[in-house]
Amino acid sequence: MTTADFVARMRAFIETLPDANDEGAAYFTRPHPPLAEDEIRAAEKRFEHRLPPSLRAVYAEIANGGFGPAYGMLGLVGGAKQEDGNDALAQYELFRQPDDEDPLWAWPDGLLPVVHLGCAMFLCVDCTGAAGYVTWWDPNALVDGEPLDDAMFESDVTFEHMMDAWMRGEDVEALVAEASEAVRAREAPT
């Protein structure tokens, strides 16, 4: 499947969503206007990574967040924001700040928080490669004294796969959780 096919399917699906003011509408069902090419290039320069093609196409051709699984996709810059007023790039920059409680840990370079799950959790897209694999960030899973790495759940689910699952009505959180468990099992020492 091409990025153009993915964009066409998503655009058609987004048009079927109820307006945010309709009864029964999800939390985020008001897509924000897409970003212009120069806005995306400026964001990528600030981010120091090029977005994976399907994620870039969503922000350029469909919307700057405001729809999607759970509380929805954050805007890249501006657009839909989480409850603290952060878009995806602002949340990434906040996460990249040093942590006084774990000074040896740093938020992974190029891991962009894209879908807000609530309760400080995010589905993040690895923008260091074109595939755009999804990692679940869940700081609620931490036990005092454990490393922050224990709150990262890497998967082999791509951004495109995750959004396709959402459009089919599948439980995206379960999809990523199961894939994360499989990745951990494969990477566990034998």
User: Could you read off the pLDDT of 47-70 as tens digits, one per residue?
Assistant: 999 999 999 999 999 999 999 999
Q: Strand pairing of 111-118 and 121-126?
A: antiparallel
Q: Which residue is associated with the tokens 């499947």?
A: 1
Q: Is pLDDT of 17 > 90?
A: no
What would the two tokens of residue 179 be?
Answer: 């894939």
pTM: 0.90
Q: What angle do CA 38, 39, 42 make, to 5 degrees?
A: 85
Mean pLDDT of 152-161: 94
The burial class, CB within 10 Å (0-12 / 13-18 / 19+), for 177 is: middle
Q: Give the pLDDT band (50/70/90) at residue 1.
A: confident
User: Which residues sit opposite 153 in a β-bridge?
Assistant: 136
Which amino acid type is present at position 156?
D
Range from 25-29, 108-112, 172-176 carrying the lowest mean pLDDT: 25-29
- Give rounded-to-5 percent helix, strand, coil for the chain: 40, 15, 45
Q: What's the confidence (pLDDT) of residue 181?
A: 86
Q: Give the pLDDT band (50/70/90) at residue 45.
A: very high
Q: How many residues does the chain have?
A: 190
Q: What's the confidence (pLDDT) of residue 19?
A: 66
What would the two tokens of residue 65 be?
Answer: 């967040």
Q: Give the pLDDT band (50/70/90) at residue 16.
A: confident
Chain-wide mean pLDDT for the chain? 89
Mean pLDDT of 163-177: 94
CA dihedral 175, 178, 180, 184 (to 10 degrees): -170
Which amino acid type is present at position 116?
H
Give 30 or 127, the one with higher predicted confidence.
Answer: 127
Q: Is pLDDT of 180 > 90?
A: no
Q: Give the pLDDT band (50/70/90) at residue 29.
A: low
Pick 3-98+106-187's CATH classification: 3.40.1580.10, 3.90.1150.10, 3.40.50.300, 3.40.50.720: 3.40.1580.10
Q: Where are the domains of the chain?
A: 3-98+106-187
Per-residue pLDDT reduced to its tens digit, 100-122: 877 777 899 999 999 999 999 99
